[in-house]
Structure 1
């Protein structure tokens, strides 16, 4: 499992020096994570690097790697179950949790798309949306970094996340 964390998040959890790593062979075992603040409250967005399928959790109380990993796994597990993607979590994400490596962002396209998602998240959080409900809207957001199933210019994270499983011969 590769977790690509931002410098801000790395400072918070003290994960050490981040290195560059290629995309994981299992597309579900590569996640990008970023810390952001809304009204003095910290949040962490967890996005599958390839599909940008995202969920959001509170950042409060996370001060080290262990706490971060425990909360991140719980958030991803709960969100995928609530979103009807529990099969994907059980088959592809959960088995890869054994070995975790922290790394730098994959590329500027992923970073830019995550910044777009964070901007949308901030607006929703200011309007009173809870972090646990935030992912549903974010995953319906069309992003130029993604290609839709039928070759559309903009893809939706939820569709691409599901498509990854079917392209691997599952689901």
Structure 2
């Protein structure tokens, strides 16, 4: 089962009940934290994997997007993994074994701290992109976020750590 651990701000926007139960056959690779933030009056969500710290920003979400959030997050995850150069077979294998999406409250303060750091970096880069081109260029931002050094990871980069985790899955 894929678990999305939502901050209170995101849970309020999603309007879904949060479960405190840990699923059977729990795999930490299927556990993600997500936080809602605003950029240029647009709603955005930064999603981060608990184990690998792989992360991406979902930009410019509308009210309808929050109603179909489970499907949207799976699509965004797939698109970002493929754009980061992870093989289609690994992505397909990961997504086929995910099960249903469940929502729980956040559980790890260190991940929340890293999410906040990544949001600051993303906003800085998006501001620069808007000044230069008039577009936040969210794909470029997402590629850059997983090349950001995280000292707690065995490979230092979340993109490489996610790739290794999927190969060993």
Q: Note whether the superposition's TM-score is higher than 0.5.
A: yes
Hey, what does 1:93 align to over in structure 2?
Answer: 95
- Pairs within 5 Å for 1:7-156: 7-19=8-20, 21=22, 25-63=26-64, 66-85=67-86, 86-96=88-98, 98-128=99-129, 129-144=136-151, 146-149=152-155, 155-156=156-157
| In structure 2, C-alpha distance between the alignment counterparts of 1:143 and 1:20, rounded to whole Å | 29
Contact 1:33-1:47 within 8 A present in 2 as well: yes
User: Which 4+ residue blocks in structure 1 deviate beyond 6 angstroms?
Assistant: none
Number of residue pairs the alignment of both structures matches: 161
TM-score by length of 1: 0.82
Tell me the secondary structure at the aligned position of residue 35 of structure 2: strand
Contact 2:45-2:57 within 8 A present in 1 as well: yes
| In structure 1, C-alpha distance between the alignment counterparts of 2:56 and 2:46, rounded to whole Å | 6
- Superposed CA RMSD in Å reads 2.3
| In structure 1, C-alpha distance between the alignment counterparts of 2:29 and 2:115, rounded to whole Å | 17
TM-score by length of 2: 0.83
Tell me the secondary structure at the aligned position of residue 127 of structure 1: helix
Higher mean C-alpha deviation, range 61-70 or range 4-13: 61-70
Contact 2:78-2:91 within 8 A present in 1 as well: yes
Residue deviations 1:118-161, cap 9 Å, x none? 110111111124222211111011123x2224xxxxx2111211
Contact 1:53-1:157 within 8 A present in 2 as well: yes
